[in-house]
Structure 1
Amino acid sequence: MSLIPPISIITENKLNGDSFREWKRNLLIVLNCKKHKFVIDEPCPPEAQPKARNCWRDSDLIARCYMLASMSSVLQKQHENFHTAKEIMKKLEDMLGSQVTLAQQSAITNLMNSE
């Protein structure tokens, strides 16, 4: 039995705007597996800690590349100039996170009205 490379999890299920919750879950799995998730959760260390700062920046670059590679080209263009993975995630949550809530509210309303 062969294992699926973690990166294929997110490149085969690209974010297109409708799949944010699933995409984010898969992305965080991959970032955890590759030990880069901390850049989403933690700020960049101060300049007084150059080794930790460089490590954080390297991991952030990798996380940003994973994020951009797993998006539709339209979303890539909208987010390619953000400086950190955390900034990209925040923007996506602001932009697409509310769609999940609206879809859930609509589904509940439809269920209640169908009775």
Structure 2
Amino acid sequence: MSTRNPLSIILDQNKLTGPNYHDWFRNLKIVLNSEKIAYVLDKKPPKEAASDVSETELAKLEIWWDHDLQAKNYMLASISNELQRRFEEAANAAEIHLHLKELYGVQTRSERHATVKELMTTRLRDGTSVHEHGVRMIGLIEKLMGLDVVIPGDGKKQEAYRW
């Protein structure tokens, strides 16, 4: 019987519920890296060994399948019950990772909308320095860039404003 990874407590304390995907995934990678099995998140294991495979290759495949099962179990143990039911029949850790990344890894439309709305409605308030306001606006623009928001122009070259 193997001993429990002491780092796995961070997964117990930070179960995936959806919106916390990035934090959960970072914690999962910490645990899987400590076990030296994080590679299974990106690569699907072969389904079956060929009939003419050598003993050495078969041993490597069995290790891969063991690592994949271990990673899959860490993942399932650290997600909400609803998500567990959804992914308990998944073939491997890479498949679960792919689906969770599709569900929660990409920033949602509502987050992009909220950030654009905040940018467009932010005004310089009395008592706030212009510098603080500028830093806030730049932060919102950088957040939008991180969310891959493209703000289209009118296609014409922008000329400097003349006062």
Bigger Cα Rg: 2
Are the equivalent residues in 1 in contact too, given 2:68–2:93 (CA < 8 A)?
Answer: yes
Displacement of 1:41? 2.5
Give the structure-1-normalised TM-score: 0.85
User: Is structure 2 residue 11 aligned with structure 1 residue 36?
Assistant: no
Bigger relative CO (Cα 8 Å, ≥ 6 apart): 1
The SS at the match of 1:17 is coil
What is the distance in 1 between the residues matched to 2:110 and 2:11? 23
User: Is structure 2 residue 127 aligned with structure 1 residue 105?
Assistant: no
After TM superposition, list the pairs within 5 Å mapping 1:7-86 onto structure 2. 7-44=8-45, 47=49, 48=53, 49-86=57-94
- Misfit runs of 4+, over 4 Å: none
Task: Return 44-53 or 81-90, whichever deviates more.
Answer: 44-53
Give the structure-2-normalised TM-score: 0.62
Are the equivalent residues in 1 in contact too, given 2:17–2:79 (CA < 8 A)?
Answer: yes
Amino acid at match of 2:43: E
Amino acid at match of 2:83: L
User: Is structure 2 residue 99 aligned with structure 1 residue 91?
Assistant: yes
Displacement of 1:7? 0.4
Q: Percent identity?
A: 35
**Aligned pairs, number:** 111
Q: Deviations over 1:2-48 (max 9, x none)?
A: xx921001111000111111111110111001111011123425723
Considering fraction of residues, name the structure with more helix: 1
Displacement of 1:79? 0.5
Gaps of 5+ in 2: 124-163
Q: Deviations over 1:75-101 (max 9, x none)?
A: 000000001000000011111123x34
